[in-house]
Copies of this chain bind each other. A is one copy, B any other.
Amino acid sequence: MAAAGLRPEAGSPQWAPAERDPAAAARPADGEDAPVRPLCKPRGICSRAYFLVLMVLVHLYLGNVLALLLFVHYSDGGGGPAAPRRAPGPPPAPAPAPLARLEGIKVGHEQKVQLVADRDHLVRTLSLKPLLFEVPGFLRDEECRLIVHLAQMKGLQPSQLLPTEEFEEAMGAVQLHPLDLFRLLDRNHDGRLQLGEVLAQTRLGSGRWMTPETVQEMYAAMKADPDGDGVLSLQEFAAMDLRDLRTFMKRHRAESGELVRNSHHTWLYQGEGAHHVMRSIRQRVLRLTRLPAEVVELSEPMQVVRYGEGGHYHAHVDSGPVYPETICSHTKLVTNESVPFETSCRYVTVLFYLNNVTGGGETVFPVADNRTYDETSLVQDGVDLRDTRRHCDKGNLRVRPQQGTAVFWYNYLPDGQGWVGDVDEYSLHGGCVVTRGTKWIANNWINVDPSRARQALYQQEMARLAREGAADAQPEWALDRAYGDARVEL
């Protein structure tokens, strides 16, 4: 195992664009869709492998096998799969208690819950795959307005930036045998690359959303598909020159509507000392999910997102895939091992609608309750079900924003032992384009490490640091208390 060749290097800016914002340094990746973010010292085999891994991993969750193949191929010269990680450092903490999981029963089932003292809430099952619920009136209207106000006071940043020039230059340095790449991309093994295979498996656009048309434009720029049928033979593929791609990308500057994600967002602290409404919402989430308090309290702060008219977020999953080599953003500080794959580990997503949207802006679950999940069938006959600018109407399930309503779902399947198992592919979801007005939402993610031991260690460490008052060692967001005493007139 040459895993040591893939070493994290927090300070190398060209490899971790999100870290250019110092306040975001210890946060989970908030650019694009918070996917896997490999960290790597750019040297030797690693630098060559790195681009490929990154190129594919931008949407790794849509190409798990491919990414793992590439990783294994480049990190140990094609040897066997990586050995499972063991929790490093101090003696193992006691295994955390099983994680609760609400029962969905069946679509339309309603259960009553008490989240606040003065009223009951109804939890309605929207789908079983993913396990998805809605809770009307989770937030009061004045709470919604307060959150928007706090976010505006703090200021919002673009949710996605295009890669820098350094990144684009790194792309030029890649040397991978075309035959190997072709084999990896050719999912159906017919010796030809269909448009769907290219769209579903790779994100050569690295942050730009690729459509059948843009891939064809790219092919044209690279003279890759002389017969113009959108299908590449191995010969056509091998004849491509990545430098042409780079030139094309440089010339073709992406507009915001061509990005994977077109919104602005910020983070609001919910820990001790936070605004009482923010605290109260955290308590409600705790009651709703029935998860241990230490799990919920050690999760990410609230993300508040504004989609302007034309804003969207193409369909994605909120957590990266579970590989032995994967490490979670929220627990990485308790591991001193090299970190080839870093990803957000979000057991539950709670999404709050903060306003009523005049036009569009639904949350779409394109494959909810599908009989089977097949990533290649997401893109068929020129229809990409993940495309929330064009094809939201074809998704299986759409939730219309309703001020104060919360929807929540599980991003992981259970493992059968009371812990999280594999990522639930059916949790694929996106934000449909806002056709009129502005859309405000907030997200609460509950972070759980698929390694039960590492989650235990993390909780143990955080408890120790809290006892010792070592606030500096806590995640960055825990320090963001500026608005804790805000008095807002609404």
Contact = CB atoms under 8 A, between A and B. Distances in A.
Contacts of A105: 413-416, 421
Contact of A109 (B103, B369, B416): B416
A416 B103 contact: yes
Given A103-B416, A106-B413, 15 more contacts: A103-B414, A105-B413, A105-B414, A105-B415, A105-B416, A105-B421, A106-B422, A106-B424, A107-B372, A109-B416, A111-B416, A369-B371, A369-B372, A371-B371, A371-B396
A367 to B, nearest CB: 9
A146 interface: no
A109 B414 CA distance: 11
Contacts of A371: 369-371, 396
Interface in A89-128: 103, 105-107, 109, 111, 128
Nearest to A421: B105
Nearest to A396: B371
A184 to B, nearest CB: 23
Nearest to A125: B416
A413 B369 CA distance: 16
A265 interface: no
Nearest to A111: B416
A103 B99 CA distance: 14
Contacts of A59: none
Contacts of A413: 105-106
Contacts of A422: 106
- Could you tell me the dominant secondary structure of chain A's interface residues? loop
Interface string A400-431: 00000000000001111000011010000000
A398 interface: no
A106 B197 CA distance: 25
Contacts of A306: none
Contacts of A369: 371-372
A370 B105 CA distance: 15
A103 B412 CA distance: 14
20 contacts: A103-B414, A103-B416, A105-B413, A105-B414, A105-B415, A105-B416, A105-B421, A106-B413, A106-B422, A106-B424, A107-B372, A109-B416, A111-B416, A128-B128, A128-B129, A369-B371, A369-B372, A370-B371, A371-B371, A371-B396
A202 B103 CA distance: 34
A105 B371 CA distance: 14
Residue of A106, A129, A369 ringed by the most chain B CB atoms within 10 A = A106
Closest 3 CB pairs of A and B: A369-B371, A103-B416, A105-B413
A413 B109 CA distance: 11
A211 B451 CA distance: 55
A475 to B, nearest CB: 31
Contacts of A370: 371
A421 B125 CA distance: 15
A424 B109 CA distance: 13
Contacts of A111: 416
A285 to B, nearest CB: 20
Nearest to A425: B106
Contacts of A421: 105
Nearest to A426: B106
Contacts of A128: 128-129
Nearest to A127: B371
Q: Indicate the member of A105, A107, A396 with the most B CB atoms within 10 Å.
A: A105
A358 B38 CA distance: 54
Nearest to A102: B416
Contacts of A416: 103, 105, 109, 111
Contacts of A424: 106
A103 B101 CA distance: 12
Interface string A360-378: 0000000001111000000
A266 to B, nearest CB: 36
A370 B370 CA distance: 7
A424 B106 CA distance: 9
Contacts of A415: 105
Nearest to A369: B371
Contacts of A106: 413, 422, 424
A209 to B, nearest CB: 27
A129 B372 CA distance: 12
A421 B128 CA distance: 16
